[in-house]
Structure 1
Amino acid sequence: MSDQGSGRSSAGGWSSLLTSIVFYLVFTMASASFQSDIGAVSESAFAVVSSIEAIISKDEGGRGMESLVVEGDLLQSAQLLSRLVPRRGDCLKAHVIILSGFPCCVDQDPPTETDGPPGALAIARAAIGLGYHATVVTDECNRSVFKAAMHNVGHWAESSLGLETFKTEEEMTLSDNDRLASLVEKCDLIIACERAGPAADGHCYTMRGIDMTERGLIAPLHRIVELGRGAEGIQFVAIGDGGNEMGMGKVLKAILTNPKIKNGDKIAAVTAADYLIAASVSNWGGYALAAAAAVVREDDIRNKRLPGPQRSLKDWVNRCVPSEEDEVSLLDRCVQAGCRDGVSGQKERTVDGMSLETSMKCLRSICSLALGSERDLA
């Protein structure tokens, strides 16, 4: 290459870098200012997200989860995710940590259930679609399933999606502790989707009251939330469906007084989320958050609250929400890796005892509602 050609390339590179930095600064200032007014969305966006929340809040499994719903927390979670900015000045992209994994099939190897991986990957897709990095974090015993879930997910992941696994508290090394602390240092938002949460005694339990910590299955991922909140002031969003998931401490009283939640005083997770999304199935909560974040981002840009590319709502939804084909393929990969339905205990692509079609119907309804707001704008 000639010197002249090299000079033009260098100038173009500097121009591109300068454009990226300017956009980052404008977006950061606008988003940081806007996050303080978390309620600011259009009436149409508010209505859409509220309708999505209503869908996932129906107690399809008859487990009493309706009492765990915190009305409005889906919208606030979506706003937080959609308007996220890096805390560190040396980072151009925000980083979302997604905690997941519920090893409730304690006598199996792997002990991983089908509720969790799809929801976690849906959130990761949304985070990357919105322009961030995403890292999924789970227990070592769940590694094979999450690795299968993330295999060949598509071009959207590229170099922006990572997987980290940790061993039990007793097996954690100094290197593991440093790695965990490093994750927190680089993190801007923590989201848990169907993540086992410590109860009052510090142990994690299945809905039947089986002690997963005692079985040597649980990594101390709650420390990520504790470290993030304590030293860094990082906010924590959680998705759950039964009361024993991390973040459910926000509705602890409702869990303890719910007659449909057996062993509530034993299994109830005590860590409280800043924003809690209760759903009939946690995966559905992941779909809902992804779609709601897409709706909020499009709404913000269209109404000039935030800078950004003028994409259609359909484009934002496609970027952030998995298709039915994506989800069927992902569940197939998980089951092939040994994942099981947490209710039936069988290696099948059902979730919490509900058919694949039931989950896909929920996904279709969420997408239809999200895209319905586009029709309202026509």
Structure 2
Amino acid sequence: MKEEAWVHGLMGLVASDRPRRGASPMGRSDHWTEALALLEAKRRVAVITGFYVLEAKAAETDGPGGALVLARALERDGKRAIVVTDSLCFDVVAAGAAALGDGPPLLCVDEPGEIWSWDPDLLLYVERPGRCRDGTFRNMRGRDISSVTAPLDGAALEAPLRGVSLLSIGDGGNEAGMASFLEGLSATRPEFAPSLCCVPADVALAVDVSNWGAYALGALLSCRRGIWLGHDPDEEERLLRALVAAGAVDGVSGLPEPSVDGFPLEVQCELVAELQSLWRTFTSSPEEKGAS
């Protein structure tokens, strides 16, 4: 019951349909427990991110932060993790890793086959474009972004043949691994149908903002471990400002500002603080553990 309360608390923070896209209400609590089970069962996790905004000619602020913080949490939990992105997004992701100080290692690839050189047993996509039914990559406005999108979702198509598991975090339905929401979103938001991804994952988490989903999954892992594996609001501000300084833009506004999907910096920092507070609610402090 305690873990169920954790999950519902997390979903209330990161999957309440604040952007009104309609994806996050389709998520279920068992998706989170299944995602946690996948993370705990694997030892080498490739976290794949990077969404290039064609109009702004820049990577967006959503994705890199979540990927870096979650990968670092996995490393703090004793696993091997690497953050993978393409050459168009690499400078932004690298700037975020430098801002964290002890960020995870990075891998820059433009072909999906190159991901296998690291020999992962789990692919974890965080805000990474996934191909549509017509084979193109599209943003949520329906614009074809194939010319600026390396087909890294191709690794997801090959993963079942290699016995590698797939986990996806997305907020709109056009991200790699989000195919389980395709039919539901096509029915409720038909204007999004041409953009929706047809590439499936073993587990997909639909959230309000992809970064938030990655942060929440790290918080859930922290609740299971009894120690905080994530980051704090100061790190969130430093991380987001570093992404923008490296050229990243808000994916909704297209502007080089420290915001994510239209939510300003203050909201991002508040969300991180709320996740930490939720963790403290369900986990004894180190002092309490020492006294027991």
Deviations 1:236-256 (A, max 9, x none): 111111111111101211111
Once the two structures are superposed, the pairs formed by residues 104-253 of structure 1 within 5 Å of their partners are 105-109=53-57, 111-155=58-102, 157=103, 161-167=104-110, 177=113, 179-183=114-118, 186-213=119-146, 216-231=147-162, 233-253=163-183
TM superposition shift of 1:65: 2.4
Once the two structures are superposed, the pairs formed by residues 273-312 of structure 1 within 5 Å of their partners are 273-296=201-224, 298=225
Deviations 1:133-162 (A, max 9, x none): 21111121101101111115234x4xxx32
Letter in 2 for 1:229: P
Is 1:355 paired with 2:264? yes
The 3 A distance-change label for structure 1 pair 66 and 108 is closer
Quick one: which of 38, 41, 45 aligns to 1:84? Answer: 41
Deviations 1:74-110 (A, max 9, x none): 12212221x234xxxxxxxx2110011111x21334x
Contact 1:67 / 1:258 at 8 angstroms: preserved in 2?
no
TM superposition shift of 1:258: 1.7
Contact 2:17 / 2:25 at 8 angstroms: preserved in 1?
no
Contact 2:251 / 2:261 at 8 angstroms: preserved in 1?
yes
In the alignment, structure 2 segments of 5+ residues that lack a partner are: none
Structure 1 stretches of 4+ with a deviation exceeding 4 A read 375-378
SS of residue paired to 1:252: helix
SS of residue paired to 1:146: helix
1:68, 1:199 → 2: CA distance?
19
Aligned-residue sequence identity (percent) comes to 31
SS of residue paired to 1:195: coil
Is 1:73 paired with 2:31? yes
Is 1:272 paired with 2:205? no
The 3 A distance-change label for structure 1 pair 152 and 115 is closer
2:99, 2:55 → 1: CA distance?
29
Once the two structures are superposed, the pairs formed by residues 329-348 of structure 1 within 5 Å of their partners are 329-348=238-257
* Counterpart residue number, 2:237: 328
Letter in 1 for 2:100: V
Contact 2:182 / 2:193 at 8 angstroms: preserved in 1?
no
Contact 2:23 / 2:181 at 8 angstroms: preserved in 1?
no
Contact 1:56 / 1:284 at 8 angstroms: preserved in 2?
yes
Is 1:96 paired with 2:45? yes
TM superposition shift of 1:265: 2.3
* Counterpart residue number, 1:367: 276
- The structure that has the greater radius of gyration is 1
2:18, 2:216 → 1: CA distance?
16
2:176, 2:47 → 1: CA distance?
12
Contact 1:70 / 1:276 at 8 angstroms: preserved in 2?
no
2:96, 2:246 → 1: CA distance?
9
1:143, 1:55 → 2: CA distance?
29
Q: State the TM-score, normalized to the length of structure 1.
A: 0.72
The alignment yields a C-alpha RMSD, in angstroms, of 1.9
Contact 1:76 / 1:275 at 8 angstroms: preserved in 2?
yes
SS of residue paired to 2:148: coil
The 3 A distance-change label for structure 1 pair 362 and 152 is closer
